[in-house]
Structure 1
Amino acid sequence: MSHPQPQVRRMFELIEPMATATFSGICNDEFLALGCRNYWDGYFAGRAAPLGQAPAEVVDAVFYNFAPGEVARHIPYVWSLMTPEKALAVREQGSARAVRHGLGELADSLLVERAAELALRAGTSAPTEGRVLYAGLRAVPVPEEPVARLWHATTLLREHRGDGHNVALAAHGIGRTEAHVLLALSLDMPAEEFGRVSHLPRAQLAAVVDGLRERGLVTAEGGFTDAGRERKRSIEALTDELAAPAYDALSPAELDELVAALEPLSAAVAAADL
């Protein structure tokens, strides 16, 4: 079954606030209570936990777009504080608490149960070939509580899409730091101001931008060329295409129902202070 690409793209927009509640201050507090030194310790512990105690080199490859050496600042240190199993439990608990806080009165509605049911069916039926982080998350037990179940389902869909996005970046010859430069430019932000790469030595970041300029993707002033804008569009289009099989388990009517159910839920979480 092939759903329209705009519908697949809309699902990305709707699952993002739900799944990224795991990166909220509410969830971060759970990790800090275990001795994490900062936000990024908790981030890497929770997100890498489905891979088990994989070395930094493996996590770095799977995550794709962190600056060289960044993962090693946190992996394997975080495993001296907790096991991956503990990190998974803490992540689920904190994320569900954050989503529930964002949903407010909607948290106990039938919309949550139905959205979780449909999203989970999609999230547990996508192909795992070449999707390392998604495959790891598929092996994690599914929560029973409806809000936690919805968060887990949207996270499955997000990581499936994220693995595909890495494929799209590699297929278009875009490396880890280059990916962040292109994202910054798509946000009308100079690369030097983008949080994911602004901490890099200026010479290192300048070399990346110069390389994109030599490839005709970035202008002398540091903005997109037409070719650069088209490359970014093509990457996003391929990412959407690779994400589409996750929704083949749903009929067109069920996908429409899922979108309709997620719209008020996602809007509530996106508007909340988490």
Structure 2
Amino acid sequence: MESLARRLCQQLLEPFHLVAYMSDEPNETLEALGYENYWPGYFASRSAPLGKVPAEVVDAIFYNFAPGEVAACVPSCWEVATPEAALAAREEGCVKALRRILGDQADSPELARAADLAVRIALSAPMEGRILYAGLRSLPVPTEPVARLWHAATLLREHRGDGHNIALVAEGIDGQEAHVFAALWMAMKPRDYGRISLSDERLAVVMDGLRTRGLLDAAGEFTAAGRETKERIEATTDALAAPAYADLKPDEVEQLVADLEPLVARINAVGY
């Protein structure tokens, strides 16, 4: 049975967060700061709640990038703009994107009501062990409804992501192996997933290591043990995310779902 945390976060709130990576407007606002390529702006704006930390810290928290990818952008990204400026540009671009996608629904009472409840949920989650989420919690909550909803969705998405890293570490799955696991979970070939730029040689080494551990078969697909490991990781991720939603009353869940579903349907119909 699908957990409430997975249903609300991944299906109904994460679509609002994803404009940060999939829409043009955030890229344009970051480019206006001086970030000429996607990845420096990505690493700057996503890690900005942590301040000007070294690449090693960002790499540990973001977890599944290829060796050297973070260091190619951090700390040099801070020569372009401050963390505060990167955060402001990211939020501005994401709100612009959501307003374009949602049209008149952006100013609806349903969105404002969903934003307020989502913020309440997002601020109730535990911070222990959730480093990126804790950084985001230190930021002021926007007052404008679209920005509030995007901010709440981002908080909950990164809270879940921090918990997912905890689950991966507990199962002994490193960042590059997590890339392979994520691809196979979505029925994709790891080379086609494209989340990180592993060379063919390095990807082969990673997959061979998973075969040696009995988690992948000769064809590069999950073995029974591999699928069970991935299912445990997802179940642990759900369990670690659950406290944020624990105080929701049944009527609040129904209201939040009712308010978010038409908005998400619009996002899915229009695209990013």
TM-score w.r.t. length of structure 2:
0.95
Does residue 6 (structure 1) correspond to residue 3 (structure 2)? The answer is yes
Is this contact kept in 1: 2:4–2:242, CA < 8 A?
no
Q: C-alpha offsets along residues 14-55 of structure 1, whole Å, 9 cap, x if unaligned?
A: 111101111122211111122212111111111101001111
Equivalents in 1 of 2:19, 2:191: separation in Å? 27
What displacement does 1:252 show? 2.4
CA distance in 2, matches of 1:263, 1:242: 24
Is 2:113 aligned against 1:118? no
The equivalences for 1:28-107 within 5 A come to: 28-107=27-106
Deviation at 1:66, TM superposition (A): 1.2
Corresponding residue of 1:251? 249
- The offset of 1:212, in angstroms, is 0.5
Letter of the 1:232 counterpart: K
Could you tell me how far 1:141 is from its partner in structure 2? Answer: 0.8
> What's the secondary structure of 2:127's corresponding residue?
coil
C-alpha separation in 2, matches of 1:68 and 1:13: 31
Find the aligned partners of 2:186 and 2:124 in 1 and give their Cα distance: 33
SS in 1 for 2:39: helix
Q: Which residue of 1 aligns with 2:144?
A: 145
Q: Deviations over 1:146-185 (max 9, x none)?
A: 1011100111111111100000111111100100101111
1:117-140 Cα deviation digits (max 9, x unpaired) = 100000011110001000000011
In the aligned structure 1, how far is the partner of 2:250 from the partner of 2:66? 40
TM-superposed deviation, 1:230: 1.4
Give 2:165's aligned residue. 166
1:245 corresponds to which letter in structure 2? Answer: P
2: CA distance, partners of 1:131 / 1:111? 30
Question: What is residue 240 of structure 2 aligned with on the other side?
Answer: 242
2-side partners of 1:240 and 1:222: how far apart? 26
Contact 1:118 1:250 in 2 (8 A): no
Q: Separation in 1 of the partners of 2:172 and 2:269?
A: 36
* Partners of 1:102 and 1:271 within 8 A in 2: no
State the alpha-carbon separation in 2 of the partners of residues 260 and 81 from structure 1.
42
Amino acid at match of 1:87: A
What are the equivalent positions in structure 2 for 1:98-247 lying under 5 Å apart?
A: 98-197=97-196, 199-247=197-245
Partner SS, residue 113 of structure 2: helix
- The unaligned stretches of length 5 or more in structure 2 are none
Letter in 2 for 1:136: G
SS of match in other structure, 2:33: coil
Q: Percent same amino acid among aligned pairs? A: 58
One-letter identity of the residue aligned with 2:42:
Y
Letter of the structure 2 residue corresponding to residue 88 of structure 1:
L
Deviations 1:230-261 (Å, cap 9, x if unpaired)?
11111111111110111123222212211221
Range that drifts further, 27-36 or 238-247: 27-36
Which stretches of structure 1, 4 residues or longer, exceed 3 Å deviation after superposition?
A: none
Q: Is the 8 A contact 2:131 2:162 kept in 1?
A: yes
Instruction: Supply the distance in 2 between the matched residues of 1:256 and 1:160 (Cα, whole angstroms).
Output: 22
> Which structure 1 segments of 5+ residues have no match?
none
